Structure 1
Amino acid sequence: MDERVPGPIWRVTGDPLVSGAPDGPLARVRVAVKDLFAVAGRRIGAGNPDWLAGAPVEERNAWAVQALLDAGADIAGIAQTDELAFSLNGTNKHYGTPPNGAAPGRITGGSSNGPASAVSLGLADLGLGTDTAGSVRVPSSHCGLYGLRPTHGAVRSDGLLDLARSFDTIGWFARDPDLLERAGDVLLPPGDPDLPLSFAVADDVVELAEPETRESFETACAALGKPVRRIGSLMGGRLEEWFAAFRNVQADEAWKRHGEWIEAHPGSLGYGVTKRFALGRDLKPGELEAGLEVLEAARAVLYDAVPPGTVLLLPAATAPAPPVDLDAETMDAYRFRTLRLTCLASIAGLPAVVTPSLRVAGLPVGLCAVGGRGTDRSLLRLAATALTPSG
């Protein structure tokens, strides 16, 4: 595909676009790289043609891209993203909505929509994405994929166009847990994959999901065959306070990172993305400081609830992927409901793995397992064993 004529899945692709080392643990694995990572000789497009037009040609690969190439993987192409990664739906006004291989006619979820679409359709084996507020976890859920959001800071972010550094993580997708884990062996720091893990479920977190999703979630938990400790209230009625603080701090960081460019390119971004950046621009005096205090207290609660050795189970999204043609108001309401689920791991910087363990009306919904800081490898091993659906 010509780089000047992008499509809904790829901005540019090849056969392959970049070849990896001749051998290695990921030899001939095809990788779809989200269009936020530096690929030598290419520009970062960030889901926006105006950004692409002004972007410099990258001189070297992002650290994560180079690590995968060194391990033998091939870069199949640079895959689309929501504009500047500031969305959770996977719809882009410039390039369209990439198809969902597991749920045709429905969104993939964003902002790592292009890699998720490519993997779900079998056009790539591994998708390299980012997760700030759920952009690996939600596409994994919508597309029936395995996905990992690592511990914040666990994977080096050199060469990544960031959005909100306090929450950004590099993550990845695969159609099977073995490849997800093998990619972790390449990208994650050394760790113990065999940490004993016990399961917990917070009732007030699960209540955020829609009834059919909750029913499928409870069935999946019962099928684990292991004790699951119930926590009546994890958030103590503070979710709205936590969520507002998260949104304010994220938006502030995003505006400080990209506001100058946005003001220089009026009208370039889609309506919803523009609104989210404007939230950071328009914060009132004291709102940022108050938000930072709230998040510090929230992290203490979450660290206490999910220490190393405990895994908090929850639905990865509130429902299956919505239809592509859903009206904007209903789509936005769905996004806000799901963000209330996904913001918890983001606030605390905790690792979270998603497996395609739930079904709702014949459509995939992910089971998410959030672990203590640094337990990424244990979560990957758990995904390949106890959390993987049979049959």
Structure 2
Amino acid sequence: MAKSFEYGAFMEKFILQPSPSQQLPLNGLSFAVKDIINGENIHYGTPTNPCAPDRVPGGSSSGSAVAVGARLVDFSLGTDTGGSVRVPASYCGILGFRPSHDAVSTSGVIPMAQSFDTVGWFARDPVVLNKVGRVLLHLPNVDPVRPSQIIIPEDCFSLSSIPNDRTTQVLVKSVEKLFGGQILKHVILGDYVKEKVPSLQHFMSGGNEEHFYNIPSLAALSSAMRLLQRYEFKNNHAEWVTTVNPNLGPGLSERIWAAIRTPEENIDVCHTVQNEFRAALTALLEDKGILALPTIPGDPPKLQSNPATLEVFRARAFSLLSIAGVSGFCQVSIPLGMHNDLPVSISLVAKHGSDAFLLNLVETLYDTIKEEVGIAERTSN
């Protein structure tokens, strides 16, 4: 197949022939595997976003997302440390699942930051998403369980430039139809986190400019996460980077060298933040609770955007992405159709170890969400 018909998703393509005698759970499905470090890449080119060709396809798992979004494969694998499954899924209008931290083995995967590294996956069909998850997570088939509560953090959705009738209201109406409105709960997550995670004060001092256009406690959470990520990246790769001095693309080069220069101070505080935040979020969600979030705070950025113009967008995105990242909870990005010809999504987060519950919930909700998306799209036209 010519590259123009493959959206630049592949570096190499080949066929693995399965054993004809075995009827395994994923028999007959085509798939792709992540093999590139960054979405916009000076060495291999940028995969074309099948939903919006003039927009970026996402982060380092964007080739995997593009392959699914363009219907070249049924599912694909990616890694998600800071958001590289969730963000491409959102940008390409498909399902993307980041599992609970350590739930899927990372054996054989080059580490970036072990405290956050996960192996996730993409699909267009929630049934396929669930099947792949059960294989990777070694899960038995279990009946869906009704969620005890769906939490809508109003401050988090206020960060998004997408209208509420295309995000939260689609979810709210779907939940009301399937489970009843009594399980919906509205909160101000930033205030809750500030109260329950006192160690974040360390990252909220000094008048951080980012806090003025963000949720201060979540901006601090993002700062703690990024500091620990850089420190772990440095421990994993500093020797190779300083010895080889590889030809790195713009943007990527600056981030890698900043990581190499990361000091060791405050790392203990980062671990304290992790522990306090996981405990706080576990208490908030209780046993079968769900936290809804914008996957990203707006439209996919245009290709070759000036990084300075994306500063606020990136800061808000990292604040949202750090919630599952720091807690180690599982998160799924669900497509919500198109708004102004660009893909829209919403995320659901469940507590650590609740992957099967979350996968089943997506499968239960998906058709109703699609119906509500259709109504919202017709209403806005």
Aligning the two structures, in what range does the TM-score lie when normalised by the shorter sequence?
A: 0.7 to 0.9
Counterpart Cα distance in 1 of 2:317 and 2:47: 20
Q: CA deviation at 1:375?
A: 1.3
> In the alignment, does 2:5 pair up with 1:24?
no
Among 273, 276, 299, the residue aligned to 1:294: 273
CA contact (8 A) 2:101 2:116 kept: yes
1:285–1:135 distance in 2 versus 1, CA, 3 Å: closer
1:7–1:161 distance in 2 versus 1, CA, 3 Å: farther
> In the alignment, does 2:188 pair up with 1:232?
yes
Q: Which has the higher mean CA deviation after the structures are superposed, 332-341 or 118-127?
A: 332-341
Please tell me the residue identity of whatever aligns with 1:10: F
Q: CA deviation at 1:129?
A: 0.6
Task: Give the secondary-structure state (helix, strand or coil) at the position aligned to 2:116.
Answer: coil
1:274 matched residue in structure 2: 253
Please tell me the residue identity of whatever aligns with 2:349: V
CA contact (8 A) 1:131 1:169 kept: yes
2:167 matched residue in structure 1: 217
Q: CA deviation at 1:292?
A: 2.3
Q: CA deviation at 1:268?
A: 1.7
Q: CA deviation at 1:195?
A: 2.9
Please tell me the residue identity of whatever aligns with 2:17: S
> In the alignment, does 2:83 pair up with 1:134?
yes
Q: CA deviation at 1:91?
A: 1.1
1:254–1:120 distance in 2 versus 1, CA, 3 Å: same
Counterpart Cα distance in 1 of 2:8 and 2:238: 26
Q: Which has the higher mean CA deviation after the structures are superposed, 149-158 or 262-271?
A: 262-271
Q: CA deviation at 1:221?
A: 2.6
Among 294, 312, 323, the residue aligned to 2:291: 312
Q: CA deviation at 1:271?
A: 3.0
CA contact (8 A) 1:213 1:360 kept: no
- Higher helix content, 1 or 2: 2
> In the alignment, does 2:120 pair up with 1:162?
no
Counterpart Cα distance in 2 of 1:381 and 1:291: 33
Matches within 5 A, 1:171-250: 171-190=120-139, 192-197=142-147, 198-210=149-161, 212-224=162-174, 225=176, 226-227=180-181, 228-233=184-189, 234-236=192-194, 237-250=216-229
1:51-106 CA distances to partner (integer Å, 9 max, x unpaired)? xxxxxxxxxxxxxxxxxxxxxxxxxxxxxx41xxxxxxx21121121011122221
Q: CA deviation at 1:219?
A: 1.9
> In the alignment, does 2:292 pair up with 1:343?
no
Q: CA deviation at 1:186?
A: 1.0
% same residue: 32
2:370 matched residue in structure 1: 389
Please tell me the residue identity of whatever aligns with 2:188: G
Q: CA deviation at 1:203?
A: 1.8
1:91–1:122 distance in 2 versus 1, CA, 3 Å: same
2:212 matched residue in structure 1: none
Matches within 5 A, 1:51-62: none
Task: Give the secondary-structure state (helix, strand or coil) at the position aligned to 1:223.
Answer: helix
Task: Give the secondary-structure state (helix, strand or coil) at the position aligned to 2:193.
Answer: coil
TM-score, normalised relative to structure 2? 0.82
> In the alignment, does 2:313 pair up with 1:362?
no
CA contact (8 A) 1:178 1:384 kept: yes
TM-score, normalised relative to structure 1? 0.80
Counterpart Cα distance in 2 of 1:288 and 1:302: 21
Counterpart Cα distance in 1 of 2:311 and 2:242: 24
Counterpart Cα distance in 1 of 2:163 and 2:123: 23
How large is the Cα RMSD of the aligned pairs? 2.2
Task: Give the secondary-structure state (helix, strand or coil) at the position aligned to 1:385.
Answer: helix
Task: Give the secondary-structure state (helix, strand or coil) at the position aligned to 2:77.
Answer: strand
Task: Give the secondary-structure state (helix, strand or coil) at the position aligned to 1:271.
Answer: coil
1:214–1:258 distance in 2 versus 1, CA, 3 Å: farther
2:50 matched residue in structure 1: 101
Task: Give the secondary-structure state (helix, strand or coil) at the position aligned to 2:365.
Answer: coil
What is the total number of aligned residue pairs between the two structures? 334
Counterpart Cα distance in 2 of 1:341 and 1:328: 19
CA contact (8 A) 1:149 1:172 kept: yes
Counterpart Cα distance in 1 of 2:311 and 2:244: 24
Q: CA deviation at 1:11?
A: 1.4
Task: Give the secondary-structure state (helix, strand or coil) at the position aligned to 2:76.
Answer: strand
1:77 matched residue in structure 2: none
Counterpart Cα distance in 2 of 1:308 and 1:172: 25
Counterpart Cα distance in 2 of 1:350 and 1:338: 17
Task: Give the secondary-structure state (helix, strand or coil) at the position aligned to 1:171.
Answer: strand
Q: CA deviation at 1:215?
A: 4.3
Q: CA deviation at 1:332?
A: 4.8
Q: CA deviation at 1:213?
A: 4.5
Counterpart Cα distance in 2 of 1:28 and 1:189: 19
1:248–1:222 distance in 2 versus 1, CA, 3 Å: same
Counterpart Cα distance in 2 of 1:272 and 1:358: 30
Task: Give the secondary-structure state (helix, strand or coil) at the position aligned to 2:79.
Answer: strand
